[in-house]
Structure 1
Amino acid sequence: MSDQNKSGGLIDRRGLIKTGAALGAASLLYPPKPSWGASETPIKIGMVDSTTGNFAVLGQSAIKGAQFAAAELNKKGGILSRPVQVLVEDDAGSPGTGVDKASRLLDQSQVDFFTGTTNSAVSLSISQFAAAHNKLFVCSGGHVDKLTGPACNWATFRTCSTTWIMTSGNSGTLVEKFGKKWYFLTTDYAFGHSEQDDYTKQVTALGGTIVGGALVPVGTPDFSSYLIQARAAKPDVLCLLLAGDDQINAMKQITQFGINKDMHIAGALFELEQIAALP
């Protein structure tokens, strides 16, 4: 299911599917020609994602997936006999930076549409930018519900799951097998808020109780104070609603503190890249 690239991280099968979905769909609609001339205008895909910062471990994998998909399409003649180019800009996990980079891709490279974004807050910003500039945005990594819910617009499509889909997929099993008293460690931005809201609705509907929780700033290196508070609450389930390096650091320290011996550790999204980064 996955290959480990020693010099550049991990590319997982799901990442290839998510980031290549829009490209692959287009190739199925039109039969490719075996080659193109030098004068053929390329289809330019502007990919805004994280190559630095807290979300880089995920963003870099998504970028490799998009580049792989483009290479595979180009081997088969591209799309409508036009070569596909993936032009990458680093959003550094910041909505403001993401919009600046999208603007650069549009103004300087004249991209045809946008894809990418791992941070859901960036996804929401790029969605609005794309709609305002009459460009399509195919989101490959922003899971927040409202992207294709209350904040949905004509320009935005999504190839990844929503937080409601992820949380509803395991909330019943977790309550049944692990217990009804839950504590959240939640990343303090759109993705974490959406996950916590969804889990809270589902767990309480199943007869569970939320005994506490904490909002964790993005880029937190030390989780000791949060884990001490979680242990004091004595939950059945410690639910990690984190992302990127935060998830990795939290899981390492949970093991170091022996928290996993006192309670069950759960969550909606544990990426292969994060698991691969653990000792």
Structure 2
Amino acid sequence: MVQDRRSLLMSGAALALVPALAGLPSRGRAQGATSLKIGVLNDQSGVYREVSGPTSTACVRQAIQDSGIAAKGVNVEVVQADHQNKADVGATIARQWIDRDGVDVIVDVPNSAVALAINGIVREKNKVYLNSTGGTTELTGKQCSPNTVHWTYDTYMLAKSTGGAMVKTGADSWFFITADYAFGHDLERNTSAFVQAAGGKVLGTVRHPLQSTDFSSYLLQAQQSRAKVIGLANAGTDTINCVKQAAEFGVTRRGTKIAVMLMFINDVHSLGLTAAQGLVCTESFYWDLNDRTRAFTNRVKGSLGGNYPAMSHAGCYASVLHYLKTVADLGGAAAKADGAATVARMKAMPTDDDCFGAGTIREDGRKLHPVYLFEVKKPEESKGAWDYYKLVQTTPAEEAWRPVSEGACPLVRA
């Protein structure tokens, strides 16, 4: 009787465990599954919100969906944070993400000062950094890292495409209004080099703090220099505010040209075609460029809350898509364990996506693809919402970027 009771109790206990065990993964499934975490670090509330922010996160999610990585046994989680355009804030978030939250990849990072800080941390922690919106060439220069891919644009490419083209038209004297941080300084320096190499002159420069609202004194100094071109070495709402105030002051009516060294389609949308018409800018992606760019835009635009993707957002999509292709090739566990090895495999594999087409990644981490010079349409030329650009010139991938021999990247073989 005692034995029967004991047997009954043991069998009851075993039955009670069945539902609980049924909800747990088997040992085989636990060993085979891999979880990756991607952190989208950008400006969610400030000067670069529209060219990064929630739209970048949506494009990362679209890349995960398009990759089909879940069917290959890899689960991917996305987190996002606002670095407030402060290097110390961005660095703190990055360290917490990696050390506490298990983030494997950091994506986007507008603001070159923040980008350089993240570049160092990711290398130290041997994770992966996919830069899309930070423009400094230092990421593929002296501070290049085996853990970083610089995807979308940089200051050399912008300076060559926009600055070089304008000097050829006779716009050979320049005055710069420059954002006073790493990106602005880098862009001014690179553009000045192209202007001077083409026989032009730089008559002066003035620097402004990030998120300025009053550009009147800077524009006055630029006009007093009698330069033919005012070069705006800034971005985001700084560029928008400067262009608007230049229009109010009638700067272009006096014959002065405004060269917007970095402008995104979202900036044109904010300005409106009446204010932006005739401006010339460089992007490496335009939603209406070809069938593939239109296909990507149609897939993602429903999640953008009325916004459209710029090259910065496209870079987030394409870099994450290529990373996940690499994860599938390497195996999720191997990719998670060694960020530098993962980036090395990314460089070895050709790239191909709907935003940029076919391309490659150089040994210094520079992603290579064609670059496009656009002119903003007049209001009467536009056929509808977001139909803003006319293609002026295409620079092939092999000509658009700083030669690898000039970057002084320690990763590059002599």
- SS in structure 2 at match of 1:83: strand
- SS in structure 2 at match of 1:212: strand
* 1:269 corresponds to: 262
What TM-score results when the alignment is normalised by the length of structure 1? 0.81
For 1:220-279, what per-residue CA distance to the aligned partner results, in whole angstroms no more than 9, with x for missing partners?
001111111111111111111111111111111111111122201113221111111114
For 1:105-127, what per-residue CA distance to the aligned partner results, in whole angstroms no more than 9, with x for missing partners?
11332011221101111110000
Q: Which moved more, 1:62-71 or 1:251-260?
A: 62-71
- Return the alpha-carbon distance in structure 2 between the equivalents of residues 79 and 115 of structure 1: 23
* 2:50 corresponds to: 57
* 1:70 corresponds to: 64
- Return the alpha-carbon distance in structure 1 between the equivalents of residues 170 and 115 of structure 2: 33
Unpaired segments ≥5 residues, structure 1:
1-36
Q: Which moved more, 1:140-149 or 1:173-182?
A: 173-182
What TM-score results when the alignment is normalised by the length of structure 2? 0.56
* 1:171 corresponds to: 163
Q: Which moved more, 1:80-89 or 1:138-147?
A: 80-89
Q: Count the aligned residue pairs.
A: 241
For 1:62-100, what per-residue CA distance to the aligned partner results, in whole angstroms no more than 9, with x for missing partners?
223222222333xx3437431222211110111111011
Contact 2:179–2:209 (8 Å) recurs in 1: yes
Q: Which has the higher contact order (CA 8 A, sep 6+)?
A: 2
Contact 1:238–1:266 (8 Å) recurs in 2: yes
1:209 aligns with 2:207: no
* 1:106 corresponds to: 98
Contact 1:113–1:137 (8 Å) recurs in 2: yes
For 1:21-64, what per-residue CA distance to the aligned partner results, in whole angstroms no more than 9, with x for missing partners?
xxxxxxxxxxxxxxxx8994432112211102222222213223
- SS in structure 1 at match of 2:74: coil
Letter in 2 for 1:228: L
* 1:127 corresponds to: 119
Letter in 2 for 1:63: T
1:195 aligns with 2:187: yes
- Return the alpha-carbon distance in structure 1 between the equivalents of residues 65 and 97 of structure 2: 20
Cα deviation for residue 207 of structure 1 reads: 0.9
* 1:27 corresponds to: none
- Return the alpha-carbon distance in structure 1 between the equivalents of residues 129 and 104 of structure 2: 10
- Return the alpha-carbon distance in structure 1 between the equivalents of residues 137 and 252 of structure 2: 29
Contact 2:41–2:80 (8 Å) recurs in 1: yes
- Return the alpha-carbon distance in structure 1 between the equivalents of residues 218 and 58 of structure 2: 34
Cα deviation for residue 178 of structure 1 reads: 4.3
1:246 corresponds to which of 234, 238, 253: 238
Letter in 2 for 1:125: A
- Return the alpha-carbon distance in structure 2 between the equivalents of residues 145 and 100 of structure 1: 23
Cα deviation for residue 167 of structure 1 reads: 0.9
% identical aligned pairs: 29
Letter in 1 for 2:157: I
Cα deviation for residue 172 of structure 1 reads: 2.6
